[in-house]
Amino acid sequence: MTEKTAEQTGEAALVAELPPPPPPPMPQDPPREPGHGDLPQTPPRPPRRALRAVARWTAAVLVLGGLGAGTVAGITSMSRTDVPGLATEDDGRWDYPRLTLPALPAGAPRPFGDANEAEVHHADLRRLLLPAPAGAKVDAKADGWVTTAQYVSEYPKGDRAALTQRLKDSALRHIAARAWTMPDGTSSRVYLLQFNSVAFSTEFQDQLFGDDQQMFTNSVYPQPLAGITDIANDDDWPATGGVEYTTPRVYSEAKPYGAEQVRHAYVLAGDTVALVVHARKGAAGTEAVPFHQTLILQNQLLG
């Protein structure tokens, strides 16, 4: 309070020391009222050439402004695909619905949180399945919980009994699946196999790849699916296509393939192993873009 008063006092003293303002200048002779013999004084007129130039520039500005406003109004009223240079070309991606992660039970941690050492997905596994895209015909027999027999049907008949026994021995909890067919004939299947912990899921995937010591090398291929004649790494898969804490392995059936080409991938995501399969009959085979899109979206739901 004292400092503020001192500051205010100092300001007041400073103002008081200033000399008083000088008196205003004495007015000159007042202007005469125009009489009958006086003409009113008017400012000088600009040259005619200057007036014409100003008129031309004003008209040009108005025209350009009108054109600009009309262009902006036209662009804002058009859709993106109607504007040249802004059109989005169809690159083959499917129209998936907007994805959202399901709510977790009260107090349950995320699968890769610090408090979840077993990396368990506590959400309902069926709600972690990728929904079918627009235009797809969903297979009612594979839309939710499925049996072990349904899953092993993806493999050759001679391998199904041994694979079934592996699943019984590896603490499998349950399997969720979704399958659909697109108008171009592409058949899509997604399987999610959930185990008691990441240790059991990792062991099961190691068995699918045969040699545990070399499972992360590019020379190791998984147990082949039914109908595949030659497994090859998918060279079009981007190195950054995965999600943190998950491990995707992506394969494409090499030419010459049989009646249909099969693309498939495994994703190890904590306690869950995902199998994503795309297959299409004919010489054209399966498209890489929608397969990668499906895999990336499913991977995001698991991560």
Strand partners, 2: none
| Residue 271 and residue 201 in contact, taking contact as beta carbons nearer than 8 Å | yes
**Least confident segment among 9-13, 94-98, 178-182, 225-229:** 9-13
Q: What percentage of the chain exceeds 90 in pLDDT?
A: 56
Tens-place pLDDT, residues 24-56: 555 454 444 444 344 344 444 445 444 445 455
What are the tokens at 49?
A: 């050439």
Q: Tell me what pLDDT residue 220 has.
A: 62
Which comes out higher in pLDDT, residue 222 or 239? 222
Topology (CATH level 3) of domain 137-302? Protein Transport Mog1p; Chain A (3.40.1000)
- Candidates 256, 299, 258; CA nearest to 279 is 258
> What integer pLDDT is reported at residue 26 of this predicted model?
52
Q: Is the pLDDT of residue 153 over 60?
A: yes
- Give the residue extent of every domain in the chain: 137-302
pLDDT of residue 125: 97
Full-model pTM:
0.70
pLDDT at 9 over 50: no
Buried b (16+ CB within 10 A) or exposed e, 10-21: eeeeeeeeeeee
Identify which of 300, 301, 303, 298 has the alpha carbon closest to the alpha carbon of residue 189. 298
